[in-house]
């Protein structure tokens, strides 16, 4: 995977999280996963199509999702209810839209699928024949991993 594809997602995640949560965000080291990987409990996923195909997944624990949604809504949510899920979906949409805008400026053309949110224990994501680059983002309320798997179309 070309690094030009992932940098806009990392920059956008850093900027959007810092802005909407009003807190420091620490970027961890980028790492690569080629096989099936566990998901922490809440995953917001956005599909990409166009010059490339793939997906971006924002992975976090249930408690982190509740805390992020609470901070974004300015009230304490007791659980990841419909409002919380809509908030996490909107967060994924904001980050992905900003990244795709940067990629458009670099000459890449992508279309997005609407974000979907998946919750549950013991989930795994598998990308057949696609490498996934993962960047952990450490927040005051927990960790969000930005997981990008993109391949060029032939």
pLDDT in tens, 134-150: 999 999 999 999 999 88
Q: Which domain holds residue 103?
A: 3-149
DSSP 114: P
- Give the Cβ contact number of residue 73 at 10 Å: 13
pLDDT at 112: 87
Residue 23 lies in a domain: yes
pLDDT at 89: 96
Residue 154 lies in a domain: no
Vertex 128: Cα angle to 95 and 142 (nearest 5)? 35
Tally of domains in the chain: 1
pLDDT at 154 over 90: no
CATH number of the structural domain spanning residue 53? 3.40.1550.10
Residue 99 lies in a domain: yes
Question: Cα–Cα distance between 105 and 136 in angstroms, integer?
Answer: 25
Residue 53 lies in a domain: yes
pLDDT at 43 over 90: yes
Task: Name which of 91, 98, 147 is nearest 117 in CA terms.
Answer: 91
pLDDT at 106: 87
Residue 55 lies in a domain: yes
Residue 44 lies in a domain: yes
pLDDT at 5 over 70: yes
Mean pLDDT of the chain: 89
pLDDT in tens, 44-57: 999 988 878 889 99
Residue 100 lies in a domain: yes
Give me the half-sphere count of Cα atoms (radius 13 Å) on the Cβ side of residue 92: 32
- Mean pLDDT in residue range 121-136: 82
pLDDT at 153: 75
- Give the Cβ contact number of residue 149 at 10 Å: 25
Axis crossing angle, helix 62-73 with helix 3-21, rounded to the nearest 10: 60
pLDDT at 26 over 90: yes
């Amino acid at each position: 995977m070309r690094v030009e594809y992932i940098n806009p997602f990392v920059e956008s995640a850093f900027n959007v999280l810092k802005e909407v949560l009003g807190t420091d965000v620490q970027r961890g080291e980028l790492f690569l996963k080629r096989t099936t990987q566990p998901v922490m409990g809440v995953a917001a996923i956005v599909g990409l199509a166009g010059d490339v195909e793939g997906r971006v997944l924002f992975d976090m624990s249930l408690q982190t999702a509740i805390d992020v949604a609470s901070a974004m809504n300015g009230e304490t949510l007791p659980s990841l209810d419909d409002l919380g899920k809509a908030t996490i979906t909107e967060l994924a949409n904001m980050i992905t839209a900003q990244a795709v805008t940067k990629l458009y400026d670099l000459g890449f053309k992508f279309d997005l699928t609407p974000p979907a949110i998946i919750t549950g224990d013991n989930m795994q994501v598998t990308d057949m024949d696609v490498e996934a680059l993962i960047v952990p983002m450490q927040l005051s309320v927990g960790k969000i991993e930005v997981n990008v798997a993109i391949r060029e179309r032939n």
